[in-house]
């Protein structure tokens, strides 16, 4: 399943598990998240009765990534994105900051995961 296909999924909650940098030829960044229709299942996971699916999302390349605890994020109505828990941003302050502070202007796209308590940004 591609990240673009994940952005079409609706009605799920995510919890952040881990982020790794395998630095192999095929995978430069790996994000592990847990997905459930019920946020309580994410809180009790790995309880055997929890209905949780663990996803491994691999990115072949990335420019930067950032993980922010959700309590410290500020909603911005000017940001434009597709998706719900899995998002691809067309416009965001973080995206603009990275474009302005790097030498790769216009070279990358902006994908992120909005989990129950964490916001994981990946710019590739």
What's the pLDDT tens digit per position in 20-57? 999 899 999 899 999 999 999 999 999 999 999 999 99
The predicted structure's pLDDT at residue 39 = 93
The predicted structure's pLDDT at residue 117 = 47
| pLDDT of 105 above 70 | no
The predicted structure's pLDDT at residue 55 = 93
Q: Are 67 and 120 in contact (CB under 8 A)?
A: yes
Q: Are 14 and 35 in contact (CB under 8 A)?
A: yes
The predicted structure's pLDDT at residue 59 = 86
Is pLDDT larger for residue 70 or for residue 9? Answer: 9
| pLDDT of 102 above 90 | no
Calculate the average pLDDT of the chain. 82
Is pLDDT larger for residue 31 or for residue 115? Answer: 31
Q: Are 16 and 85 in contact (CB under 8 A)?
A: no
Q: Are 111 and 83 in contact (CB under 8 A)?
A: no
Is pLDDT larger for residue 83 or for residue 108? Answer: 83
| pLDDT of 113 above 70 | no
Task: Output the pTM of the full model.
Answer: 0.79
The phi-psi region of residue 83 (left if phi > 0; otherwise alpha if psi is between -120 and 50; otherwise beta) is left
Query: Which residue bears the tokens 């597709």?
Result: 82
């Amino acid at each position: 399943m591609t990240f673009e296909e994940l952005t079409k999924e609706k009605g799920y909650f995510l919890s952040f598990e881990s982020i790794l940098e395998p630095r192999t030829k095929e995978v430069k960044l790996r994000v592990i998240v847990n997905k459930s229709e019920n946020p309580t299942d994410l809180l009790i996971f790995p309880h055997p009765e929890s209905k949780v699916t663990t996803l491994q999302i691999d990115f072949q390349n990335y420019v930067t990534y950032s993980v922010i605890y959700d309590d410290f994020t500020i909603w911005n109505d000017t940001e434009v994105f597709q998706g719900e828990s899995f998002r691809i941003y067309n416009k965001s302050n973080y995206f603009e900051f990275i474009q302005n502070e790097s030498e790769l202007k216009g070279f990358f796209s902006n994908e992120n995961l909005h989990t129950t308590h964490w916001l994981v940004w990946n710019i590739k």
